Structure 1
């Protein structure tokens, strides 16, 4: 199906962060946009305000009549939807064009210059940074992001004039193999999603295949010293980056008084005096990747400096809610051991000498089973760890796999406890925390506004 043939688009799993960005693209294009999701959320309610028709039960009667026209309706679904879903089966059995979210993004990379960001972790932040730099520059861009940008209050940026589209390239279910990037960043290849891939080797091979999809005359910007070695087409330039070395890196880093500045070293043009608007140590490396991509596509030194200084972050990515001498409280989406380790290191670098407590909700039984020792090693970098029960998402329980197996592996000297998720607010009320971070990709984040209120009331 060509974009010009589409009159209506139906989303199954409409409220997913990535799905909603594509829904907004089609709403903006003036098409009828409708869909199903399991439960209403702030995001689905906002989509309804923007013109999307959404219902919350599997019911063929709820599908708008215009979306039952097979020749002019595109159906988009998320891999998290079970194959037994009544509406998905209806569309598949009646000859509709049914595509995964990543396939639709793949169409866009064939019609725009796709600036794609892949990696086990860091891709949401780096893609959002790059989108912000590009959008406020003379180049501009469209963007489909994996998180809500604080600069724009959305996960989607639209431009009527730019040929660039910034895309978060998701390795889950090999989704990123549908893309045809003009250029790509790869931030990390630490094994994940082993329920899909089975082995570390298969995971790394998936990334290697992804590098083959970059278009000739494009570029790959890859983190230095990754275990995965790229295999690019002729004409694709390969650059390496990291915090301290590589074609793109930082020098003269200064971290003081809650501010971070450094010089951006580049084979194109060095840029002195970069100031991070979201001053977190891990963002030094993230910003290097984002600026490298933007610079390769024509952004000037002044545009890079302005973009990084005005970048405000992403919801749930090192998302500070309170920051003062008495309390520091933040929410972080980190749900892989390497992400958690980076969170711990960044907080220790920022808040030397202060007690740092993490409340962590493990995400998925399979991920907990595969990485429980790595989780324990990473969490042991905090002064105190409070574990809640595992968030199952799409999975059924696995015998013997609970938060206890992480708890048992935590290193000596770390204060530790396991509580019910429903008891989190009572713990916060009964304790006085110095630096507190809520970690995980599950639903513990729903408590964040209430936790912030409790801490603020204590200050008064």
Structure 2
């Protein structure tokens, strides 16, 4: 997926300080969900189209959280830790295990979870009080079928579920908005949940990263039927969901250990689209060829029927809305340019007509697309009684206030004129996008990219694409591969990638300790250099930035 260049155009002159949309939650409000469910404070309002009136029930009657014991295997992952935290917030007893301790587990322990390092039968057994075994065991996609806890639970008749099955269960009776896509789903889901929450909408949200503006870190928890979920395609996880609204940010070949080729990825997403509820809504980025290939031209903007939409494998209709940088989309961005905050401004157009100036604190065209998805999703959630302009004025206010997600072009610190940033990018498209964002925010700094390949299968599949994407840096350092869930030897290494990069100086430094020492020496030797160090990868490369800054500070203290 290619990202258009950012122009230096000036935006239209819309009111920069719109009055916030007055969201008053009372029985006369025009704020309704198209699924005909309406939440007002602690009451659940169901609108009857036949009677043209609301009936109410206590929202607590929708949630029957008995003190059930749930054990999470692989609880330290960003997605699994979010599910464990949500279970705690909802009143379940929670335990979990993982092979190493991390900060996600710190938060879970503080919230009351019983956690174990390492996997053992003893982790799911207890003596002397209550249930001796968990009521359910939820298993991460990264956990093999030969895990001792999983095998023991099955042998004892405990209900064992994969992460996707558990997500399907806990969202089944909710007004679910599932944000999917090969890239951008974490930021888009977080941004959407933040904007809706800031507008006064009660909701639950689960995303796969820490969100500074979420009180719960990687979750929002509310006793409401509204649920925003980052929907992951890995291991078919999202195929267990039944969303009312599905967002598809893009579709590309990824997870080479699961999908044989791009066609296999597309087939999985097509199956996901079949899960959209009747009368629901698909919001799709037309800039992505893979995403757009999921639907036919005749489906856009309509409630398609299978016989009229041969490329769309559906047995029920739903509305399709597209967004992107082309005027062919219902929602599009034009005149994209950097702003003084280091973020991005653009003119928002609806059906070809400009409707608002949008100003983001986030850099990069990819974040412009993420914000367009949010605008389209909020508009789809709220019915036509709201004037579009009033709604957009409210959305853009909260979009401007959104500060982003951890490990998504996140500033780690500054030493003299050296800025250190970290990003989760582990696919060539993501690497290309974050380098573009870095150039946008720091156009005058030299860019050093420290990249840790994530899984041998991904590196082997996309080695040439990685080499091309990294060629846009001024200097590249490649570490050894973070093998994650893969086992066994491979015929590809970080060295192969380092020698494939054309243009900038590229070197292979496998050991993180050696890497920090070398970077520290070079940076401290040229303190006046305007420099941006950007660590990239989905593994433990995220620890390099803090270690580097700490060592630079120590050197400076000793020299003084």
Scaled by the length of structure 2, the TM-score of the pair is 0.77
Once the two structures are TM-superposed, the CA of residue 197 in structure 1 deviates from its matched residue by 1.7
Q: Provide closer, same or farther for how the CA distance between residues 108 and 184 of structure 1 changes in structure 2, counting only shifts above 3 A.
A: same
Structure-1 residue corresponding to 2:361 = 277
Q: Distance in 2 between matches of 1:291 and 1:458?
A: 48
Q: Distance in 1 between matches of 2:412 and 2:232?
A: 28
Structure-1 residue corresponding to 2:426 = 335
Structure-2 residue corresponding to 1:30 = 91
Q: Distance in 2 between matches of 1:92 and 1:269?
A: 58
Q: Distance in 2 between matches of 1:451 and 1:291?
A: 39
Structure-2 residue corresponding to 1:39 = 100
Q: Provide closer, same or farther for how the CA distance between residues 367 and 103 of structure 1 changes in structure 2, counting only shifts above 3 A.
A: same
Q: 1:446 aligns with which of 543, 554, 558?
A: 543
Q: Distance in 2 between matches of 1:120 and 1:336?
A: 9
Report 1:225-374 matches (<5 A): 225-227=288-290, 228-230=293-295, 231=312, 232-245=314-327, 246-257=329-340, 258-267=342-351, 271-298=355-382, 300-322=391-413, 326-374=417-465
Once the two structures are TM-superposed, the CA of residue 115 in structure 1 deviates from its matched residue by 0.7
Instruction: Pick which of 136-145 and 356-365 moved more.
Output: 136-145
Q: Distance in 2 between matches of 1:267 and 1:3?
A: 44
Report the structure number with the largest CA radius of gyration.
2
Q: Distance in 2 between matches of 1:67 and 1:218?
A: 43
| SS of residue in 1 equivalent to 2:491 | coil
Indicate conservation of the 8 Å contact 1:13/1:19, yes or no: yes
- How many equivalent pairs are there? 456
Indicate conservation of the 8 Å contact 2:243/2:277, yes or no: yes
Instruction: Pick which of 247-256 and 202-211 moved more.
Output: 247-256
Indicate conservation of the 8 Å contact 1:326/1:459, yes or no: no
Write the deviation string for residues 324-343 of structure 1: whole angstroms up to 9, x where unpaired: 98222210000001100111
Question: Does residue 194 of structure 2 align to residue 155 of structure 1?
Answer: no
Q: 2:276 aligns with which of 196, 211, 214?
A: 214
Once the two structures are TM-superposed, the CA of residue 256 in structure 1 deviates from its matched residue by 3.4
Report 1:59-208 matches (<5 A): 59-65=120-126, 73-152=135-214, 154-160=217-223, 162-208=224-270
Q: 1:380 aligns with which of 454, 467, 471?
A: 471
Q: Distance in 2 between matches of 1:328 and 1:313?
A: 18
Q: Distance in 2 between matches of 1:220 and 1:443?
A: 35
Q: Distance in 2 between matches of 1:277 and 1:322?
A: 18
Once the two structures are TM-superposed, the CA of residue 280 in structure 1 deviates from its matched residue by 3.9
Q: Distance in 2 between matches of 1:207 and 1:101?
A: 18
Q: Distance in 2 between matches of 1:7 and 1:409?
A: 53
Scaled by the length of structure 1, the TM-score of the pair is 0.92
Q: Provide closer, same or farther for how the CA distance between residues 41 and 399 of structure 1 changes in structure 2, counting only shifts above 3 A.
A: closer
Q: Distance in 1 between matches of 2:264 and 2:520?
A: 46
Alignment RMSD, CA only? 2.4
Q: Provide closer, same or farther for how the CA distance between residues 198 and 456 of structure 1 changes in structure 2, counting only shifts above 3 A.
A: same
Once the two structures are TM-superposed, the CA of residue 265 in structure 1 deviates from its matched residue by 2.2
Structure-2 residue corresponding to 1:10 = 71
Structure-2 residue corresponding to 1:436 = 533
| SS of residue in 2 equivalent to 1:177 | helix
Q: Distance in 1 between matches of 2:516 and 2:246?
A: 42
Write the deviation string for residues 28-60 of structure 1: whole angstroms up to 9, x where unpaired: 122211121111111102101100011113222
Once the two structures are TM-superposed, the CA of residue 108 in structure 1 deviates from its matched residue by 3.0
Please list every run of 5 or more consecutive structure 2 residues that lacks an aligned counterpart in the other structure: 1-62, 296-311, 524-528
Indicate conservation of the 8 Å contact 1:10/1:34, yes or no: yes
| SS of residue in 1 equivalent to 2:201 | coil
